[in-house]
């Protein structure tokens, strides 16, 4: 007696189509990222030759929290320009730091006594964004 293979063809087709959709499909769409950039300026306190830092922490977090993203720039005269690339869209809190005694350590970037720090700056990144830290932003840690 001859066996029918009529059920094998649809099962085989279903199996192969599932493989092509799951195993050979396109990779997921990459998450969009943006750039945070700006200028750090200090005219009232001499900072030339010091490192300026900008750190991003989670939304409504404090300066002592670990940095999620950060950048450094060398103060030349009263200012320097920074750029943090590839930051995913979202809510962050930004802090500026000028390391007056060259003792800041990556990746936490916790300032020490005598460093100049800014207040918290809420940032919502949904496009490349400019965020400057002017001279009026700074206070010295006791």
CA-based radius of gyration for the chain: 26
Provide the mean pLDDT of the chain.
Answer: 88
pTM of the model: 0.79
> Which sequence spans correspond to the domains of the chain?
33-140
- Read off the pLDDT band of 26 (50, 70, 90): confident
**50-91 pLDDT, tens digit each:** 999 999 999 999 999 999 999 999 999 999 999 999 999 999
Separation between Cα atoms, residue 142 and residue 138, nearest integer Å? 13
**Spatial CA neighbour of 122 closest among 68, 61, 34:** 61
Tell me the average pLDDT across 97-117: 95
Give the H/E segment covering residue 10. helix 8-22
Report the pLDDT value the prediction gives residue 24, as an integer from 0 to 100.
60
Fold observed for domain 33-140: Immunoglobulin-like (2.60.40)
């Amino acid at each position: 007696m001859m066996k029918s293979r009529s059920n094998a063809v649809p099962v085989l087709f279903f199996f192969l189509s599932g493989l092509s959709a799951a195993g050979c499909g396109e990779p997921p769409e990459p998450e969009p990222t943006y750039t945070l950039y700006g200028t750090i300026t200090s005219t009232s306190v001499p900072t030339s030759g010091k490192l300026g830092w900008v750190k991003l922490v989670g939304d409504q977090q404090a300066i002592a929290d670990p940095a999620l993203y950060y950048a450094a720039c060398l103060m030349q005269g009263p200012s320097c320009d920074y750029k943090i690339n590839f930051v995913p869209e979202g809510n962050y809190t930004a802090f500026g730091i000028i390391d007056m005694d060259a003792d800041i350590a990556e990746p936490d970037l916790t300032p020490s006594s005598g460093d100049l720090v800014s207040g918290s700056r809420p940032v919502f990144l949904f496009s490349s964004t400019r965020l400057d830290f002017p001279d009026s932003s700074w206070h010295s840690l006791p």
